[in-house]
Amino acid sequence: MKTNLMPAIRLTLATLVLFCVVYPGIVWAIAQLAPNSGKGEVIISGDKKYYANIGQVFTEDKYFNSRPSAVDYNSAGSGGSNKGPSNPEYLAVVQARIDTFLVHNPGVAKEDIPVEMVTASASGLDPHISEQAALIQAERIAQVRGISKTAITDLIGKNTEGALLGIFGPSSRVNVLKLNLALDALK
């Protein structure tokens, strides 16, 4: 024990400097060259600043709605619902979300609602919805805003992101924040 204690303490202090100061220092210095100096990707719109990767709550009819969130998109924290798949209370919540969605989007058939629009994400901050989830909201947006539906669907098409390099990962999703910013810019 005694033969090891002093070397252990000294080695701990030296490696502390290496891994707590030097290593993050190097990464921090490299990150200064990254977009927005490593402070996360932001979008500046007018005098407002948004984090591109942090989803926002969109519940108003004039905006494309985002996914349900267990933390109401409060990005001071993060969290999923952690509800088990067979939990009856949880299934009742999902049913209520479906009903609410149909009330706000009367023309939409139930079987066209993609499951991600009625289930909460893992982080509670998911910035994306699928392209299909945006398309079924086009009719409502067009009516509320008085813009033609084709203009809306064109806008969705323009804001749809594909798979990585076209071959890896989910093939069509939209960043709800970017889409809504583009929507506000339309008119």
Partner 1 sequence: MNTELLGVIAMFVITVVLAIPFGKYIAKVYAGDKTLLDPVLGPLDKLLFKLTGVDEKREMTWKEHMFALLTINMVWYLLCTFVLMNQSWLPLNPDGNPNQTADLAFNTSISFVVNCNLQHYSGESGVSYLSQLFLMFLQFVSAGTGLAAAAIIFTALKNRTAEQLGNFWNLLVKSCTRILLPLSIVVATILAFNGTPMTFDGKDTVINMQGDSVQVSTGPVAAFTAIKHLGTNGGGFFGTNSAHPLENPNYLTNMVEMFSQLIVPFAMVFAFGYFLRRRKFGWMIFGVMTIGFLLLVIPTMIWEINGNPAIGKLGVDISSGAMEGKEVRFGSAASAFWSIATTVISTGSVNSMHDSAMPLSGMMQLLAMMTNAFYGGCGAGILNFFVFIVLAVFISGLMVGRTPELFGKKIEAREMKIAMIVALLHPLMILAGTALASAFPEITSANLNNPGFHGFSEMLYEYTSSAANNGSGFEGLGDNNLWWNITTGIVLIFSRFIPIIGPVAIAGLLAKKKFIPESAGTLPTDSATFGLMTLGVIVIIAALSFFPALTLGPIAEYFSF
User: Cβ of residue 157: shortest distance to partner 1, in angstroms?
Assistant: 17
> CA 108, CA 98: separation in Å to the nearest integer?
11
User: Cβ of residue 172: shortest distance to partner 1, in angstroms?
Assistant: 10
The answer to whether 92 touches 117, Cβ cutoff 8 Å, is no
User: β-strands 128-130, 160-161: how paired?
Assistant: unpaired
C-alpha dist (Å) from residue 127 to 28, 92, 151, 183:
26, 25, 23, 16
User: Cβ of residue 167: shortest distance to partner 1, in angstroms?
Assistant: 5
User: Cβ of residue 92: shortest distance to partner 1, in angstroms?
Assistant: 10
User: Cβ of residue 181: shortest distance to partner 1, in angstroms?
Assistant: 7
Looking at the Cβ atoms of 150 and 186, the one nearer to partner 1 is: 186
**Closest of 182, 186, 178, 179 to residue 148, by C-alpha:** 186
Looking at the Cβ atoms of 118 and 156, the one nearer to partner 1 is: 118
Looking at the Cβ atoms of 24 and 150, the one nearer to partner 1 is: 24
Looking at the Cβ atoms of 83 and 149, the one nearer to partner 1 is: 83
- φ/ψ of 174, rounded to 5, equals -125, 145
The answer to whether 179 touches 62, Cβ cutoff 8 Å, is no
Looking at the Cβ atoms of 28 and 150, the one nearer to partner 1 is: 28
